[in-house]
Amino acid sequence: MAKSQQTYSKKEKEKAKLKKREDKQKKKEARKSEKTPGIDFVYVDYNGNLVDTPPDPSMKVEIEAEDIILGIPPKEEGDREAFDPVRKGKVSFYDSSKGFGFIIDNENNEKYFTHVSGIIDEITENDNVSFELEKGQRGMNAVKVTKI
């Protein structure tokens, strides 16, 4: 029987694999020998930042366990603002045959859609009106529209 012979390309592939393995081993050894100096201890200063120096003991603050609030703190009566849902605006467009229009809010100049189902009084363009907002399919809608 004839001896099995390796082709030239097979020899080259095996040499390349061997070289790649050796390079990988050299890189691994280089990483081990180059250990970068790290921070042995990490401290948290009084602002909550991570630092490598110990904090100043004179800045230490004692906190009672009862004072820690988990979650949203309860609202106090003085925190609540009086929110008036009724807004004032001007009718910029209204088509009575189709039953819809737009109202521009006086406070923030936002344009809100209104439908005939949300209109209480008869309105026309350039009328001053008061209205409330309600979430609709495509954004906020003006409802309970009354003429001023």
pLDDT digits (tens, 9 = 90+) for 11-62: 899 999 999 999 999 999 988 887 666 657 788 887 888 888 888 888 788 8
128: number of Cβ within 10 Å:
13
pLDDT at 81: 54
Q: In Å, how far are 37, 41, 52, 69, 125 from 49, measured between CA atoms?
A: 21, 14, 10, 21, 59
Is residue 8 assigned to a domain? no
Long-range contacts of 52-60 (CB under 8 A, 24+ apart): none
pLDDT at 84: 73
Q: What is the pLDDT of residue 39?
A: 54
Number of domains observed in the structure of the chain: 1
* Domain CATH number, residue 117: 2.40.50.140
Taking the C-alpha atoms of residue 82 and residue 27, their distance in angstroms, rounded to an integer, is: 68
Whether 106 maps to a domain, the answer reads yes
pLDDT score at 132: 94
Note whether residue 30 is domain-resident. no
- Rounded Cα–Cα distance for residues 60 and 42 (Å): 17
Do the domain assignments include residue 40? no
**Using the 8-state DSSP alphabet, how is residue 101 labeled?**
E
pTM over 0.75: no
In a domain, 79, yes or no: no
Do the domain assignments include residue 102? yes
Domain range enclosing 101: 87-147
Residue 72 belongs to some domain of the structure: no
Size (the chain), residues: 148
Q: Is residue 111 part of a domain?
A: yes
Neighbours of 102 (CB within 10 A): 17
Which one is predicted more confidently, 116 or 4? 116
Distance CA 23, CA 26 (A): 5
Say which residue the tokens 């630092």 belong to: 51
